[in-house]
Each structure stands twice: as C-alpha cells, then as structure tokens.
Structure 1
Amino acid sequence: MIRRATIVAVGRLRGWAAEGCEDYLRRLRRYFPVEVIEVAEADMNRLGRGEALREEAGRLLRRLPADAHVVALDRKTGRRYGSEELARRRLEPLAVSGRGHVAFVIGGPLGLAPEVLERADERWSFGEITLPHALARVVLLEQLYRAVKILRGERYHW
C-alpha cells in the first residue's frame, strides 16, 4: 500500500462534495497520511481557455511534491482500472518499488493543461463520462479507501 498521498486540485470544495471528501479523508488517514492542496481556479471571465489552463498548470506544478509518483486524472488520455486492478496492479506495486508517495492531480472545469499531463508518471480515468471536478475528488478518495480495504483483506460493506 502507498505510504503517503497528496491530492493537488484546482478549486475549493463546498457543501456535499466537501463533506464527502472529509468523510473519506478521515477513513484514509487511519492508514496513511493524506494531504489536500487546493489551488485557485483561473478567472475564466478574464482569460481565454488556453491562458486559464496555463495559469492553473503553473499553480498545480508548483505544488506537486518533488519526490512523489504523479498520477493525473484525465478522462481523455487516462487508463481505466477496476477497483481490484487499481489496488493490486497500481497502488501495491508503487509501495514495493519505493515510490510510496503518490500525488494525484485533478484539474478544474477546463481539465488539465498539456504540461501537467506531461509531468505525470501515469494517467488514470474514471471512464468516458465527464465528472465535475468536485465529484472526481470524492470518487478518487473513495477508490483509494476501497483499495486499502482490498489490500488489507478487510470488508468494505457490512
């Protein structure tokens, strides 16, 4: 299992998404430290799409931990995994390889700039559907928690 996780995401969560994330963060932190870093969303009323993506990319890249294995969440270019495969074929080997610190990057409404995708060691996707970035963060945390339970042989549902 990974030893530490950092989530670097565009935007600040509120309401149901913040509550869902806090719930899974509480659960995950029993097993390993998880840090959430939120960077400001670009002002899309002031900037064009390309400029906004570049601005967010700079903020995201500056906050990525240098020692982390970086996973970008990207619907278009990311690889899809089932929960078991994610746990056993992605997260477990990272810990064994000495890359136990994993940083996950989640873009805002515009997605991620090419320079962020290029910086990533790998890209994951939660499928073809477009998820709001707030929901993607909740899904990521839930899948990390599910992976912990799978790898520890613990029941997820009671």
Structure 2
Amino acid sequence: MKVSLICVGKLKEKYLTMAVDEYKKRLSRYCTLDIIELPDEKTPDNAGKALEEAIKKKEGQRILRVLKEDSFCIALAIQGNMLSSEQLASYMEKLFVSGKSHISFVIGGSLGLSEEVLKRAHYQLSFSKMTFPHQLMRLILLEQIYRSYRIINKEP
C-alpha cells in the first residue's frame, strides 16, 4: 500500500518536522509513505476574492500535476465529511480491499483548495469545522493515518 501526502507549503518549525519524521518512521511498517511539498503562493494582505481564487487555482494546478492518475484522492476540506477515527480506518480498509493500492491525501494552502482539485478528489474529508494551520494539519493527518492502520490491524 502506498500513501501520499500532497501538501502546499513547507514545514518551517523544527518541532513539527521532528513530529512528522516520527510518524513517517511509525508508518513505515504499514505502508510506503511519500510526502510531496509544493510551494505556496504569497497572499498579500487585503487580497480581493479574485486574487485569492487566482492563488488557489495556481496552487491547484501544481497539485494536479503531481497527483497520480491511478491514485485515490482524498482532499482535506472544511466542507467535507467528518469521520471518527474508527470510521476513517474502516473507509481506508474498504479502499484496500477494493483494490486501491495508492491513496493520496491533499492538504491545500492557507486559502484552501481550488475547485479543480475538489472536483478531481474522490472523497472530501473534514477534521473539524475549525480551521487549522496547514503545517499542523499535516501532523494531525499523519497521526490519524497511523491510528487507522493500528485499528485495521487490531493493535492497541
């Protein structure tokens, strides 16, 4: 099984990098993990709606270029479906059983994901109605993927 995280923006804080590295190590016994970092666009203060949409579109084009055609795409979006940890594990297990060998999770930049990326996604997942920094979301997502594998394998 291959899991990809496609992330807009780079991790800047050392403590986040260390935590992500720890989850990469933990996940290595369950899957092949690939984290793809894409550059984010700078958003000027007081950017209008049109400029924000143009920024999301540019970041979205970068995402779509690296998203593999055979990959099952799960986009993280506030308007997506909220699942418990057990439900996410069950969803992932169903994907594995149905023959999906590559899952890509997509985390957008500070403005979110473009419509093109959301349309390409097979599933939209929300962790909360709250907004989280995309750097922190990467860590939260990795922890939930790890937890899903533990649940699937009936481990504590």
Q: TM above 0.5, one fold?
A: yes
The alignment yields a C-alpha RMSD, in angstroms, of: 1.3
Alignment of 1:5-16 (within 5 A): 5-15=3-13, 16=15
AA aligned to 2:59 is E
Aligned pairs, how many? 151
| Superposed displacement of residue 131, structure 1 | 0.6
Please say which of residues 119-128 and 14-23 is displaced more in the overlay.
14-23
AA aligned to 1:31 is Y
The answer as to 2:26 corresponding to 1:27 is yes
The answer as to 2:54 corresponding to 1:55 is no
Alignment of 1:78-157 (within 5 A): 78-88=80-90, 90-155=91-156
| Superposed displacement of residue 133, structure 1 | 0.3
| Superposed displacement of residue 127, structure 1 | 1.1
AA aligned to 2:118 is L
| Separation of aligned partners in 1, 2:44 and 2:137 | 24
AA aligned to 1:121 is H
TM-score by length of 2: 0.93
AA aligned to 2:37 is E
1:74 is paired with a residue whose SS is strand
| Separation of aligned partners in 2, 1:86 and 1:50 | 30
The one-character-per-residue Cα deviations of 1:75-129 (angstroms, maximum 9, x if unpaired) are 1x210000011101x1000011111210010001111011110000000000111
Structure 2 portions without partners, runs of 5+: none
| Separation of aligned partners in 2, 1:51 and 1:44 | 10
| Separation of aligned partners in 2, 1:84 and 1:78 | 17
1:67 is matched with which residue: 66, 70, 75? 70
AA aligned to 1:95 is F
AA aligned to 1:85 is Q
| Separation of aligned partners in 1, 2:26 and 2:111 | 30
TM-score by length of 1: 0.91
Structure 1 portions without partners, runs of 5+: none
AA aligned to 1:33 is T
| Superposed displacement of residue 43, structure 1 | 2.5
1:98 is paired with a residue whose SS is coil
